Amino acid sequence: MKNNIQIKKGNKLNHLLSIDGLNLEIIQKIFSTADSFLNIEKRDVKKVPLLRGKTVCNLFFENSTRTRTTFEIAAKRLSADVINLNIATSSQSKGESILDTVNNLIAMHSDIFVVRHNQSGAPYFIAKNINPDIKVINAGDGNHEHPTQGLLDTYTISKYKKDFRSLKIAIVGDIKHSRVARSEIAALNILGVPEIRVIAPKTLMPADVENLGVHPYNDLKYGLKGVDVVMMLRLQKERMDKALIPSEHEYFKTYGLNMNILKLAKNDVIVLHPGPMNRGVEIDSTVADSKHALILPQVSYGIAIRMAVMALLMEK
């Protein structure tokens, strides 16, 4: 993004709207801050007082229990007060404009808005139009980005692979509609991954995807050859409706990750998935339950990353 409102003076995080526009120093800072929060969950008292007296407002214009819960846990571990607002079922359905909704919430004196919206750019729009003291975290916007997911995925990789600058990484699935893919691609590029592959049928591949700094593959077998990391994407069930793929069954046969195909990757390959998984659609249980899969560690790392982002946003 040209006009980067995410970064303030001193290369500090001002909002987290997209990975696109961040830099290596900031991502490393988020990772090292997350490191310091990793052990909290093992303590008796799973709290630090960093955000005591602060209010985090989970502003979900689109339903998502899982993402909202991880943000809530992260905020509570930082001792913040948390308000959950499910706007999808309240004011928006009464025709209130997004800006009016947000202005009302500003009156509640929140410090951080965690925003999920079905419109690409909605968190950016909110960040641009609110009091500069309030920080915005994008928790997924339309087909644009899901930056904390991109951060937690790359953070997970950093725990298992030494150096990003020597990795081959493949992202498999619905690249076209995936906000997770866009955040992952942006993060991997900033971290210096020399070879990022995206694997999908042409119907699920976005236009000019090469310009995001990736190599597109339509064939899963070629795409997985010799990779260190496989990042799977969830296939949204509604994709069948618009003739993007014929059936889940055929998708599983052509792009589903099974043990046989995974053998084409490196021996120590790791497999990530943002969840929830569709077993038998994009991933076979033999892979999902194997030693290669890091799906559960991702969840723990996700909380640490979200804590780190909130803590850094509240830094003076």
Partner 1 sequence: MNYLFKNILVLDPYSEINTITDVLLRNNKIEDIKKNISIKQTKNTKIIDGKDKILIPDIVDIYCDLKSPGHEYKDILETELKSALKSGLTTLVCHPNTEPILDEPSLIKNLISISKKEDSVRVAPLAAITKKLEGLQLAEMMELEQGGAVGFSQAENSIQDTSILLKAFEYASTFDFTLFLRANESSLSENTYANESQVATRLGIKGQNKLAEIIEIQKYIELAKLTNAKIHISKLSCRESIGLVKKAKSEKVNITCDVSINNLTLTENDIDNYNTLCHLQPPLRSVKDKTALIQGLKDHTIDAICSDHCPVELDRKQLPFEESEPGSSNFETFISLVFKVANENKIPYSEIIKKISINPANIIKEKYLGMKKNTKATFTIFDKSIIWRPNVADTTSSGKNIAHQYEMNGKVIMTFINGKNKYKYN
Binding site residues, partner 1, CB under 8 A: 1-3, 20, 97-99, 117, 119-122, 124-125, 129, 141-145, 179, 182, 206-209, 211-212
CB-nearer residue toward partner 1: 142 or 280 = 142
Q: Which residue has the tokens 């994407």?
A: 233
Minimum distance, C-beta of residue 123 to partner 1, in the bound complex (Å): 9
Minimum distance, C-beta of residue 92 to partner 1, in the bound complex (Å): 11
Minimum distance, C-beta of residue 183 to partner 1, in the bound complex (Å): 10
Q: What does DSSP assign to residue 158? A: H
Q: Do 134 and 113 form a contact (C-beta atoms < 8 A)?
A: yes
CA distance 80 to 133: 16
CA distance 177 to 144: 8
Minimum distance, C-beta of residue 187 to partner 1, in the bound complex (Å): 14
Q: Do 48 and 78 form a contact (C-beta atoms < 8 A)?
A: yes
CB-nearer residue toward partner 1: 206 or 256 = 206
67: part of which helix (H) or strand (E)? helix 65-77
Q: Do 190 and 19 form a contact (C-beta atoms < 8 A)?
A: yes
Determine whether 13 is exposed, middle or buried from the number of CB atoms within 10 Å of its CB (0-12, 13-18, 19+).
buried
CB-nearer residue toward partner 1: 243 or 296 = 243
Q: Which residue has the tokens 């992202």?
A: 171
CB-nearer residue toward partner 1: 142 or 297 = 142
Minimum distance, C-beta of residue 177 to partner 1, in the bound complex (Å): 9
195: part of which helix (H) or strand (E)? strand 195-199
CB-nearer residue toward partner 1: 143 or 278 = 143
